[in-house]
Structure 1
């Protein structure tokens, strides 16, 4: 029974993030905003954070930590990657586990010896394909039939792009660039749970994630030790 409760909690958290993203998307697509309104730019970062939440939820699904039901776990992962940018979940699943198995080596799809920009481009190219770009362009042009282009750009396109930078910076660049002396070739954010959540759903506690990949993002803060 305790295991079922934990599984239900993880699924509830995942569904909450998905529902908040969907509700925010629907409302913001209907908003007759002004570019002079500072709330519009706050909404961009709100959506960016929710996009990151979608990806982090998919990431948990890849580790089987959303729910103990494998089929439901996969469905949640597929839904989140589809909403994020029609990413093929299985491709991300394979590459992410390859990252954990071969971290900081030539076989690590997330690793590069290039500088920040070059690494970011390489990181994106590992996961983005031309058919995705074409499909997203089709979806964009279809949505334009009913939704203002300004709303689409400001609250759909830009937040998703910013989210890729957020995920890369806090989840790949900061923890994995440079030299390392630990077995996970990873550093970690200083212990500040508020900052860790706001920055990337505790994903900055990256050494801890590699040490305990079986834990969902919302439990990761509990593993944070003073020593790292």
Structure 2
């Protein structure tokens, strides 16, 4: 087993993580600018639904990028750049502050599915909606809450009143994808892997894996469903988790 570390050893000259992170951030910003200007009244519902799905995928990609940065795998050879990419991705996601999210996520890894895990609620096992609500609310504690909620509200109204972005575009192509993305991350990355199974957890990570085929695992949540593998090998970036799922290292 690999010990938990937020600054793992990694290939000294690997630029793959950085390149993927920049593609995700560029796709998010490009689609954000483009779809908010669309005339939705002229588009068939099929294309609108496709735009919502793509925007959701981009939103989730931002969070996964920040998550990998927390574990030091976006650009391992330069901690400042690695953390900078993570901070940008989280800020674009919903004005989240990187140090706050990093502290909470590493606490999750240190105490998975226990009373000391900020992502876990044993009294909400039979009510995933309650667990989801508490999960979101507890990540918005103290000043962080008002920065996120106040900032997102200000940005929304600025885009509507000053940027003249149609309300339907804001709601369908920005707000809705963000909400769906948060649910996607919660259910694939928290609830399903860490809920208590009938016979109890069988490993120290108190986590299971969603055995999806690689393509569907990628679409579901950037392989976040390979969750035992992530806890066992936190130094492995998201795009390499399928290999660890298929062929776990021996010894």
The two structures, once aligned, show a CA RMSD in angstroms of 1.5
Q: Which of the numbers 242, 245, 249 marks the counterpart of 1:221?
A: 242
Partner residue in 2 for 1:88: 97
Partner residue in 2 for 1:26: 33
Calculate the TM-score normalised by the size of structure 1: 0.95
Give 3-state SS (helix, strand or coil) of 1:5's partner: coil
Cα displacement string for residues 40-83 of structure 1 (whole angstroms, at most 9, x for unaligned residues): 01111111111000000000000000002100011101100000
> 2:157 aligned with 1:141, yes or no?
yes
Number of residue pairs aligned between Structure 1 and Structure 2: 225
Deviation at 1:3, TM superposition (A): 2.7
Partner residue in 2 for 1:202: 223
Equivalent residues of 2:95, 2:147 under 8 A apart:
no
Moved more, 146-155 or 56-65: 146-155
Partner residue in 2 for 1:183: 204
Q: Which of the numbers 218, 224, 233 marks the counterpart of 1:212?
A: 233
Moved more, 56-65 or 136-145: 136-145
Moved over 2 A (4+): 2-5, 34-37
Structure 1: state its 5+ residue gaps: none
Partner Cα distance (1:182, 1:110) in 2: 18
> 2:126 aligned with 1:117, yes or no?
no
Give 3-state SS (helix, strand or coil) of 2:13's partner: helix
Calculate the TM-score normalised by the size of structure 2: 0.86
Higher normalized contact order (CA 8 Å, seq sep 6+, divided by chain length): 2
Structure 2: state its 5+ residue gaps: 1-9
Equivalent residues of 1:21, 1:47 under 8 A apart:
yes
Equivalent residues of 1:189, 1:206 under 8 A apart:
yes
